[in-house]
């Protein structure tokens, strides 16, 4: 049996809503449209949250991979 790799999970999450938590405390919630090996990520219909509060609604957002801590399905 072939062993799974971390990017397989991101692949399965495509077009689904994910939570992206950043090193600066911000959380982005949106539909995972794209990612790459640097874990650069693009979300659609994204929301920016801080301390549990909605701060901004964004259409699409590109998030630079080196700012990300975790990505998890909503």
Binder to a copy of itself among 1, 2, 6, 51 (CB under 8 A)?
A: 6
Query: In whole angstroms, what is the distance from residue 41 CA to residue 58 CA?
Result: 14
Tokens matching residue 21: 């938590």
Nearest CA-CA partner of 53 in 23, 25, 12, 14: 25
- Rounded to a whole number of angstroms, the minimum distance from the CB of residue 20 to a copy of itself is 9
- Rounded to a whole number of angstroms, the minimum distance from the CB of residue 53 to a copy of itself is 16
Mark out the alpha helices in the chain (DSSP H runs): 6-13
> Which residues in the 8-67 window bind a copy of itself by CB under 8 A?
8-10, 14, 22-24, 26, 28, 33-36, 39-42, 46, 58-67
């Amino acid at each position: 049996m072939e062993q799974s790799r971390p990017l397989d999970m991101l692949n399965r999450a495509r077009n689904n809503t994910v939570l992206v938590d950043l090193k600066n405390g911000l959380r982005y919630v949106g539909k995972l449209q794209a990612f790459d090996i640097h874990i650069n990520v693009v979300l659609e219909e994204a929301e920016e949250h801080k301390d549990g509060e909605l701060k901004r609604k964004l259409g699409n957002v590109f998030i630079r991979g080196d700012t990300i801590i975790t990505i998890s399905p909503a």
